[in-house]
């Protein structure tokens, strides 16, 4: 009887230590967050963003608001924050129709280096995808 009680206490103590140290189960760490005001340049254009993280039971997202009038929600892919800016009727195609302009952005939260990708014709046929680097600087 004494062995059974001792074994139960040791097992319970070990489980308590593992739980307290986080060694039980797979824990999902929050991604490195961007938070605050940033400035940077992408080619010939300087820009500023205000980035606000939001974390909950389903993980984290970040809302990116630009001084250029757009807002987008970024998701983390394990390495980089990624988001897309859509400008409705952002391009006039050769046939006279309008197409939305899609611009994809990706930011490394550690180095603050990023890339912006877009189609030269946006949503119109015949475009060429280009990618340009940019660098963020935290200003607030």
| Kind plus residue range of the DSSP H or E element containing 2 | helix 2-21
- The pLDDT score that the predictor gives to residue 123 is 64
Of 62, 88, 87, 81, the C-alpha closest to 73 is: 62
Return the top range by mean pLDDT from 34-48, 50-64, 78-92: 50-64
Phi, psi at 14, each rounded to 5°: -65, -40
Predicted TM-score (pTM) above 0.85 = no
Task: Report the C-alpha gap between 31 and 22 in whole angstroms.
Answer: 17
Two tokens at 31? 């991604």
Q: Report residue 23's pLDDT band, with 50, 70 and 90 as the boundaries.
A: very low
Task: Please check the confidence at residue 8 and state whether its pLDDT lies above 60.
Answer: no
Per-residue pLDDT of 68-94, as tens digits, reads: 889 999 999 999 999 999 887 777 888
Per-residue pLDDT of 101-118, as tens digits, reads: 888 999 999 999 999 988
- Decide if 136 contacts 106 (C-beta within 8 A): no
């Amino acid at each position: 009887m004494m062995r059974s009680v001792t074994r139960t206490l040791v097992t319970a103590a070990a489980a308590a230590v593992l739980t307290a140290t986080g060694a039980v189960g797979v824990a999902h760490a929050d991604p490195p967050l961007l938070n605050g005001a940033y400035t940077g340049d992408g080619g010939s254009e300087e820009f500023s963003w205000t980035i606000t993280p939001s974390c909950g039971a389903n993980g984290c997202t970040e809302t990116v608001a630009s001084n250029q009038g757009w807002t987008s929600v970024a998701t983390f892919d394990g390495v980089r924050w990624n988001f897309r800016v859509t400008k409705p009727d952002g391009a006039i195609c050769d046939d006279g129709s309008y197409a939305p302009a899609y611009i994809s952005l990706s930011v490394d939260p550690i180095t603050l280096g990023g890339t912006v990708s877009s189609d030269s014709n946006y949503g119109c046929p015949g475009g060429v995808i280009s990618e340009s680097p940019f660098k963020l600087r935290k200003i607030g």
